[in-house]
Structure 1
Amino acid sequence: MRIKFSVARHARKKKVLNRASGYYGDKSRRLRMATQQVDKSLVHAYTDRKDKKGNYRSLWITRINAAVREEGMNYSTFISGLSKANITLNRKMLSEMAIKDPASFKQLVDIAKTSVSK
């Protein structure tokens, strides 16, 4: 009897089991459990790549807030002051400035303070 799809089926199983190597228990050895776990892992990988962007943004906001509070302001009034002063810097750059160049960040805080008080 002629065996159909043997090479392709073997390659497909091998691909799934290779992706599942390192999983706990039978999830790394049994095809059905490995397939289910690999599918679920790929879903998490996709959504976590999207979530990573929001996690970085919240990290930047936390850093900016900490640096601004040392100058006697809070984050929301600082951002409001920057927007009133027509300064368009993204939060990543503001965070980097707060860490690596505190002197220029202090100037930005002063600009934000004066524009809020107007």
Structure 2
Amino acid sequence: MAANNHRHKKILKLAKGYRGRSKSVFKIAIQRVEKALQQAYRDRKNKKREFRRLWIERINAGVRQHGMPYSVFVNKARKADVELNRKVLAEMAVTEPYSFRAVVETVKAKGSPKA
């Protein structure tokens, strides 16, 4: 009996803040809590995708101001051994445009094919 009581308390504690019977009736609360945990698990994965997409958009916007599309920039940056990740590049594009321009110029200079 004590173990069952503990299980009920645990679920109802997780359901705190829900509306209506979802927070007080065990049978309903367990359904809502399980669904919430599924969504939390799924969205932890989606969060990574969303941020990567945002960083790519910001880098693309910044790079296009300097006359180069994102795909060409990334390819040349890899060839020029630029060790900055997308998160840092996106932050630079938004907050430090002069530093970002220096990175783009470096990539243009070093990333061009050697003839």
- 1:64-85 residue CA offsets vs partner (Å, 9 max, x unmatched): 1111111122111111111121
In structure 1, the partner of 2:35 is 40
The amino acid that maps onto 1:25 is G
- 1:56 aligned residue: 51
Q: Distance in 2 between matches of 1:73 and 1:35?
A: 53
- Gaps of at least 5 residues in structure 1 are none
Q: Which runs of 5+ in 2 are unaligned?
A: none
Asked if 1:65 is matched to 2:71, the reply is no
With the length of structure 2 as denominator, give the TM-score of the two structures: 0.84
Encode CA deviations 1:39-90: one digit per residue, 9 max, x unaligned: 1111211221222122211111111111111112211111111112121211
Is the contact made by 1:80 and 1:116 (CA closer than 8 Å) also made in structure 2?
no
Rounded Cα–Cα distance in structure 1 between residues aligned with 2:24 and 2:77: 57
What residue in structure 2 maps to residue 85 of structure 1? 80
The question of 1:20 aligning with 2:15 is answered yes
**One-letter code aligned to 2:25:** R
- SS of corresponding position for 1:44: helix
Q: 1:110 to 1:117 in 2, by over 3 A?
A: farther
TM score, norm. by length of structure 1: 0.82
Q: CA RMSD in A?
A: 1.8
Query: Which protein has the larger Cα radius of gyration, Structure 1 or Structure 2?
Result: 1
The residue matched to 1:52 in structure 2 has which SS?
A: helix
Percent of paired sites with the same residue: 46
